[in-house]
Each structure stands twice: as C-alpha cells, then as structure tokens.
C-alpha cells in the first residue's frame, strides 16, 4: 500500500503521518510534488516514494536526482528523463476515464517501450485513477477493464500495477492488483468503522449575553430570537472553517452541541451556547472530534460546508498548531 501523504498528510502533517502509516503496514508513500517528496525523504527507500503529480520536462533533472519513483503521462517528460544518469523508476500513468493526467490507452505501448528502452528510465509501474469509485461501480469496472487490457498490450513488463484509491479499495477489493493508493481512509474518514485520526479544537475567547433582536457578525446574518448566550471562538476561515458554514452546523462545548451562528470571520466564529450550562472563557471548542459523548466528524463538517471531507481536512490553515499524539 502507498499511503497518500500529499498536502501535508491531508492536513495532519506529512512526516508524522508517513511514520505512522509505515508503522501501520504501508510499504510506500505517495505525494503530489517534488517538494513534498523532499519532506519525507529518508523515511523509506526513495524508490518507494511515488511522485504522482504532473511534472514539467524542465523538472526532469531535479526529479531524477531524488531517486523517487516518478509519474509520467506524456512523451515530453519521458524524453526529458531518458538520458538521466541513473535509471529513474517511472510509473506510466494511463488515462482510462479520469481525463486529467495519463496517456491515452492507444499511446501506452509506445511510451512504455520508450521508458523501458531508454538508458535513463526504467518502467517500474503502470497505473490509472478512477473517476467515480465511490459512487459508480459500472464506470469503475469499465475503467479497470480498459486498464488491464491496455497493460496486456504494452509489450514490455509493466512492473507494479495499481489503480485503487480508498473508495476503489473499499468497493472493489478485487481491483487491488499489486498495490493500492490510500489517502482519506488512512486518516479515518470515508471508511466504515474507521477512527478519525484528527481533532480540530480552539477556545472560547469572549462571552456575552445578548437580548432579543441583537445581530451577530458580518452581514448581521443571525438575529437573536430571544435572550441568548453567545461565545466567540478563536478560529475562522483562515484556519479552514468554510464561509459556507454561516449559521450551519454545530461545535462541541462542554460535551454539548452548540449551534454555529452568524458569518464566519477570518479569525473567529460565534456559537449560541444558551443551552450549554457553565460555559467559561478558555473552554475548549471542538470543531472536529470528540467531546464527552458527542462526536463531530470531518464528513459531517463537509456537509455543513458544501464540500467533501478531503477539503475540510486540507483546508486547516498553517497557523493552527499541530500536536501529534503517539
């Protein structure tokens, strides 16, 4: 399994997450960029790090110097890598329907042979990516079959074959081939029964009682229906609380769900804590995670934010202090 630790380990911190994933049984790590590969260098053999994102031919020399496995989708990059000093392990990406990266299936044999025959490259793997593995089994099967058919026509040894992301691995374990590339599931999201790896917490920094009719925040989007106790919490959209959450969803305070009220500010949100007894300055506010009997998941936050759990996690801003617990 490649543990996908791009985007700062989906917001959790790439290096600690990579450590944990390798201890947990992953044999490789996957990232999007050469910079991300550099951050995790040394944790595993360089070849076991797959740089999945698009690289320009101008980056070929830098990519070759890392010793990492490199994704190739086009002839331009394959040719730029072809005279590298040491053979670069290349994973040829084949576009079976995602439409983003990858060569056309009909171009794959010629590219695979170029990579195989060039002094500076070695065909270490072939791979594809599913477009709808979480929702559409027929499309996913068609993509998989096209991939297998294309690989059978390469005319050279394909090396490691991999296709599945988390939803692919969950819904189609028979498509696992030689490796899977799992991101969101290793963080405890989008996988039945998984335990979330992350909690997002802040503190109450201001408290007040407002009277009926008082308005709160930019745009005066919330108006007190009666006397209310309002808590201001030190986290905002700069920290990853999406503005779509204005007047939506909850935050946990003292083990209770407090409604989020008003617009999200850059550095602050406001909660109606009228139903939460004893709230004090400095109280913990849990935006994702557990407090007492209550749990808020990234998936739940995603619904309130009109997005997906991936964006909720990767939006957590740089000024949010990360604490890693063994």
Ligand X SMILES: Cc1ncc(COP(=O)(O)O)c(C=O)c1O
Query: Rounded to the nearest whole angstrom, what is the least distance from the CB of residue 3 to ligand X in the complex?
Result: 9
Per rule CB under 6 A, count of chain residues that contact ligand X: 11
Cross-strand bridge partners of residue 206: 232
**Is residue 52 involved in binding ligand X (CB under 6 A)?**
yes
Element (H, E) at 126: strand 121-127
Using CB under 6 A, which of the segments 179-187, 218-226, 231-239, 275-283 binds ligand X?
179-187
Which residue's CB is nearer to ligand X, number 31 or number 235?
Answer: 31
Per CB under 6 A, which of residues 153..172 are in contact with ligand X? 165-167
Residue of closest CB approach to ligand X = 183
Query: Sheet harboring 28-31: ordered strands across?
Result: 160-162, 121-127, 88-93, 69-72, 49-51, 28-31, 2-4, 181-182
Query: Rounded to the nearest whole angstrom, what is the least distance from the CB of residue 166 to ligand X in the complex?
Result: 3
DSSP-based three-state secondary structure for 28: strand
Catalytic residue among 6, 10, 187, 310: 6
Q: Which residues of 162-195 are buried (b: 16+ CB within 10 A; e: fewer)?
A: bbbbbbbbbbbeebebebbbbbbbbbbbbbeeee
Evaluate whether 8 touches 31 at the Cβ level (below 8 Å): no
Element (H, E) at 38: helix 34-39
Element (H, E) at 9: helix 6-10
Per CB under 6 A, which of residues 78..137 are in contact with ligand X? 129
Query: Which among 191, 230, 180 has a CA at the least distance from the CA of 209?
Result: 230
**Is residue 312 involved in binding ligand X (CB under 6 A)?**
no
Query: Rounded to the nearest whole angstrom, what is the least distance from the CB of residue 107 to ligand X in the complex?
Result: 19
Query: Rounded to the nearest whole angstrom, what is the least distance from the CB of residue 186 to ligand X in the complex?
Result: 8
Tokens (6 digits) for 31? 């990232």
**Is residue 264 involved in binding ligand X (CB under 6 A)?**
no
**Is residue 182 involved in binding ligand X (CB under 6 A)?**
yes
Query: Rounded to the nearest whole angstrom, what is the least distance from the CB of residue 162 to ligand X in the complex?
Result: 9
Q: Where are the beta strands (DSSP E) in 280-321?
A: 284-291, 294-296
Using CB under 6 A, which of the segments 108-116, 175-183, 270-278, 313-321 binds ligand X?
175-183
218 is catalytic: yes
**Is residue 8 involved in binding ligand X (CB under 6 A)?**
no
6 is catalytic: yes
Which residue's CB is nearer to ligand X, number 10 or number 237?
Answer: 10
Using CB under 6 A, which of the segments 62-70, 177-185, 202-210, 278-286 binds ligand X?
177-185
Q: Which residue of 9, 11, 102, 183 would you call a contact of ligand X, by CB under 6 A?
A: 183
Spatial separation of the C-alpha atoms in residues 310 and 10, rounded to whole Å: 7
DSSP-based three-state secondary structure for 215: strand
Torsion sign (Cα): 255, 257, 259, 264: positive
Using CB under 6 A, which of the segments 135-143, 183-191, 245-253, 293-301 binds ligand X?
183-191
| Contact set with ligand X (CB under 6 A) | 4, 52, 129, 165-167, 181-185
Annotated catalytic residues are: 6, 218
């Amino acid at each position: 399994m490649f543990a996908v630790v791009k985007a700062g380990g989906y917001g959790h911190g790439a290096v600690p997450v990579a450590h944990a994933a390798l201890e947990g049984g992953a044999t490789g790590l996957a990232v999007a960029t050469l910079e991300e590969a550099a951050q995790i260098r040394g944790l595993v053999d360089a070849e076991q790090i797959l740089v999945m994102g698009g690289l320009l031919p101008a980056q070929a020399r830098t990519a070759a110097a890392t010793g990492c496995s490199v994704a190739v989708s086009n002839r331009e990059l394959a040719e730029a890598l072809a005279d590298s000093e040491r053979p670069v392990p290349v994973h040829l990406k084949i576009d079976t329907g995602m439409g983003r990266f990858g060569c056309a299936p009909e171009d794959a044999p010629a590219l695979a042979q170029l990579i195989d025959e060039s002094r500076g490259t070695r065909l270490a793997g072939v791979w594809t990516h599913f477009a709808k593995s979480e929702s559409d089994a027929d499309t996913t099967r068609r993509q998989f079959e096209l991939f297998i058919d294309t690989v059978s026509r390469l005319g050279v040894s394909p090396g490691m074959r991999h296709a599945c992301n988390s939803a692919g691995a969950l819904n189609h374990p028979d498509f696992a081939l030689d490796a899977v590339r799992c991101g969101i599931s290793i963080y405890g999201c989008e996988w039945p029964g998984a335990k979330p790896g992350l909690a997002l917490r802040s503190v109450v920094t201001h408290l007040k009682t407002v009277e009926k009719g008082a308005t709160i925040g930019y745009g005066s989007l919330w108006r007190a229906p009666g006397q209310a106790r309002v808590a201001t919490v030190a986290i905002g959209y700069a920290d990853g609380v999406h503005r779509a959450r204005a007047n939506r969803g909850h935050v946990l305070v003292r083990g209770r769900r407090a409604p989020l009220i008003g617009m999200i500010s850059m550095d602050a949100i406001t909660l109606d804590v009228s139903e939460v007894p004893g709230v004090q300055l400095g109280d913990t506010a849990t935006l994702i995670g557990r407090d007492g009997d209550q749990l808020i998941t990234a998936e739940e936050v995603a619904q309130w934010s009109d997005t997906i759990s991936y964006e909720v996690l990767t939006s957590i801003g740089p000024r949010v202090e990360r604490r890693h617990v063994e």
